[in-house]
Amino acid sequence: MNFLAHIYLSGNNEELIIGNFIADFIKGNKYKHLPNQIQNGIFLHRKIDSFTDEHLIVRKSKRRLHERYGHYDGVIIDVLYDHFLAKNWSDYSDISLKKTEANFLSIMQNHFDLLPKKVQSILPYMKEQQWLSGYATLSGIEKSLIGINKRTKGKSKMNLAIEDLKLNYIDFEQDFTLFFKDLIDYSTKSILLF
């Protein structure tokens, strides 16, 4: 899953949110200096990623993309699924997406010194460009895909994935809706173990 899903699946625990968000920027076990609940957020993120990668519905979504994008299919699905979460946000949360985004950015700012340098450097862009709430629109998702494609120096061809999203929109949304129910259950159970 991508940024928005990881934030959502952390519940209301600020340190869990931080850990779940920064996990992709933490290599190996370079988290030992962080508070326990942030470490738990990192563990939760890794569990979510493993669960997602192995899930049959996600694999079905990836098959629609694999021929064109190869091993980047999983990253694209993460982004596309964040679109469906953002678009249907009110089905999952009583707090608006804009308010959730503002709360998240406030949490990150309040714990800025604990964040990896890369996270510190992207936060201003996340705020200015409203990445999380932008996921709700096709243009916002397209911007994300173009940005990721640039970071892969064009190898991923992710800038083209907006075409695949439009072509298979209903199928991807159905996949997301079914899968996300399972993921919410899995994440809720995982949090109870911390």
Q: What is the mean pLDDT of residues 56-60?
A: 97
Q: Where are the domains of the chain?
A: 3-192
What's the CA gap between 8 and 21, in Å, rounded? Answer: 10
Query: Residues 158, 144: contact at Cβ < 8 Å?
Result: no
Confidence of residue 1 (pLDDT cuts 50, 70, 90): low
Are the CB atoms for 69 and 156 separated by under 8 Å?
yes
Please report the pLDDT score of residue 108 as a whole number: 96
55: left (phi over 0), alpha (psi -120 to 50) or beta: beta
pLDDT digits (tens, 9 = 90+) for 101-148: 999 999 999 999 999 999 999 999 999 999 999 999 999 999 999 999
**150 close to 142: Cβ distance less than 8 angstroms:** no
What is the average pLDDT across 69-77?
A: 93
